[in-house]
Structure 1
Amino acid sequence: MSYRVEQVNDSYAFLGEGPHWDTETQNLYFVDIPNSTLLRYDYKENKTYRAKVENEKQTSFIIPVEGEVGKFAVGCSSRVAIVAWDGVAPIAKVERTAYTLQQGDEVCRHKFNDGKADLRGRLFTGTIYGEFSESNPLAELYRFEKGQPMAVIRKGVTLSNGLAWNEKTNKFYYIDSKDCEVTEYDYDLETGAISNPKVVFKNTEHLPDGMTIDTEGNIYIATFTGHTVYKVNPSTQEILLAIKLPAKQITSVAFGGPNLDILYVTSSSYNDEPSPAGYTFKVTGLGAKGFPMRKVRI
């Protein structure tokens, strides 16, 4: 297959992550985790804007809030904050805390990582426990639903990462990076419950990170150590395509563009990786489309 990879204008981030395509505004939102920065790529302007989140140490994901223009759910260490940003100003402000794992004055060692909303606007997000290098299997995957108590979906997680839903088959896909696996679950849309885990992809050579899915049910897996996004058929567990990128540390993927047929790919320049590491790329000519990404209901 002939595909084309291009760099997105002014999209550098030290550790780019969490791409979210907003179909309403035709914007790609993503974050620079350790610099607590939100980025917005405006498709029509072909221009990237960025804002520092005031008084925060890190930002791990960004999802627009349903029904509230200019408001976003943002992972900020051990809490999910509602952040106000007009998409242009250099500073974004936290308005309130939507959810927190902090108990009183206790120091919380859980830090949110990847997060997405399901078809009903429930927020799924998991954590890393302690420092990245510690590899503690004490993190968890959570479900937050408006008006409901927090639910722990999976325990014993080390590095919570990719999330994807197949809207046609009611399947949920999840990556704990340190397992080097993608696990498929049956998904109950009415309750948000997952069941019947099944490993559908394993790659111990390159660390799986973020993930998305196309309308045919194929999953796209970013690899943090491999210059590659793998397109995988989870039913057959076959690698259909290895999409090669000009950066080693590929962090996450999302379909976007007016026809949802552009694959946006974030990357990292961690450990002094050379340019164009850290930039976001767009991949065209894949002959595939994604599902519209959902806003969160909070």
Structure 2
Amino acid sequence: MPYKLEPIPNGETLIGEGPHWDIETQSLYFVDIDVAKLLRYDYKQNKTYSAVLEGEKFASFIIPVEGESGKFVVGCDRRIAIVAWDGVSAIAKVERVVNEVQPGKEFVLNRLNDGKADPRGRLVAGTMYNDQKDLFSQRKGELYSFEKGKPVKVIKSDVGISNGLTWNEKTNKFYFIDSADFDVKEYDYNLDTGVASNPRVVFKHDTYLPDGMTIDSDGNIYIATFTGHTVYKVNPSTTEILLEIKFPCKQITSAAFGGPNLDILYVTTSRLNDQPSPAGSTYKVTGLGVRGLPMSKARI
């Protein structure tokens, strides 16, 4: 199948992550985690805007808040913050903190990593140990569900590197990546309660590190590999690899469908550890012949 890769303008990052396509604004929002930067690619203008998140060390994900224009839920260290940003200004600010997970000295090196809103608008996000020297041996991370007006729920403990997540609402399935396990697991997902159960491995790679993830309208998942130059398209029902989308850089971090028809796959990358150009570019992939699913805003 022919497909075309093209970097978006001014989409370079150190660690690009958390892509979220917002239908309302026809924009791709994403983050540069380790420099606490928020980015917005405007489809109509073909232009990328960015803002430094004032006073923060990390920005792990960015999700628009339902019903509140210019407000986003952002992972800041171990805090869930509501951030005000007009999508253009060079500075964004935390308005308030909704919650903090894993407080205390034991978790001082932990931080939030990937997060998304589930089909009911719950924020689901997890933590990871953030010391590069000991990244894989520490399993102090957890995966959480944040539902408006309710206490935080722990979906999963014993997490190494909490990472990619996506849902298939038609089949009540939830897909989650703990990068330290080198696999993708499928869970039964109760949309009424937000409870995930019955894990099943649907993708595993002994060499390449799975990172972020998205899903298309056919139920196939797209898995970014941080060490593998590749986004894998996988049928989770059969575990068959349907397509390997290759990139000219090694560290592929995440993916999200966007564009007016939800048929463009936007892919973030990283130049961490002095990776050469074009590492860190954000790409659009066209010609895949599939469409994604609308991404949910957060109700928080």
Which category describes the TM-score, using the shorter chain as reference length? over 0.9
Q: CA deviation at 1:103?
A: 3.7
Q: CA deviation at 1:98?
A: 1.0
Equivalent position of 1:66 in the other structure? 66
Equivalent position of 1:168 in the other structure? 170
Identity level (%): 66
In structure 1, C-alpha distance between the alignment counterparts of 2:129 and 2:102, rounded to whole Å = 13
Residue deviations 1:236-258, cap 9 Å, x none? 11100000011110000000000
In structure 1, C-alpha distance between the alignment counterparts of 2:190 and 2:103, rounded to whole Å = 30
Provide structure 2 residue ranges, at least 5 long, that are not aligned to the other structure: none
Q: CA deviation at 1:2?
A: 0.4
Q: CA deviation at 1:133?
A: 3.1
CA RMSD of aligned residues (A): 1.2
Residue deviations 1:178-235, cap 9 Å, x none? 1001000001111111111100110011100000000111000000011100000011
Equivalent position of 2:96 in the other structure? 96
In structure 2, C-alpha distance between the alignment counterparts of 1:68 and 1:104, rounded to whole Å = 32
Partner amino acid, structure 1, of 2:71: K
* C-alpha contact 2:265 2:286 (8 A) present in aligned 1: yes
SS of the counterpart of 1:58? coil
* TM value normalised by structure 1: 0.98
- Residue 5 (structure 2) pairs with residue 5 (structure 1): yes
Structure 1 runs (4+) deviating above 2 angstroms are 102-110
Q: CA deviation at 1:68?
A: 0.6
* TM value normalised by structure 2: 0.97
In structure 1, C-alpha distance between the alignment counterparts of 2:158 and 2:106, rounded to whole Å = 21
Q: CA deviation at 1:153?
A: 0.4
Equivalent position of 1:54 in the other structure? 54
SS of the counterpart of 2:296? coil
Equivalent position of 1:122 in the other structure? 122
Residue deviations 1:153-186, cap 9 Å, x none? 0111000001010021110000000100100000
SS of the counterpart of 1:34? helix
Equivalent position of 1:132 in the other structure? 132
SS of the counterpart of 2:67? coil
* C-alpha contact 1:101 1:108 (8 A) present in aligned 2: no
In structure 1, C-alpha distance between the alignment counterparts of 2:42 and 2:272, rounded to whole Å = 25
For residues 277 and 104 of structure 1, do their structure 2 counterparts lie closer, same or farther at Cα, with a shift above 3 Å needed? Answer: closer
Q: CA deviation at 1:101?
A: 1.6
Partner amino acid, structure 1, of 2:90: P
Q: How many residues align?
A: 298
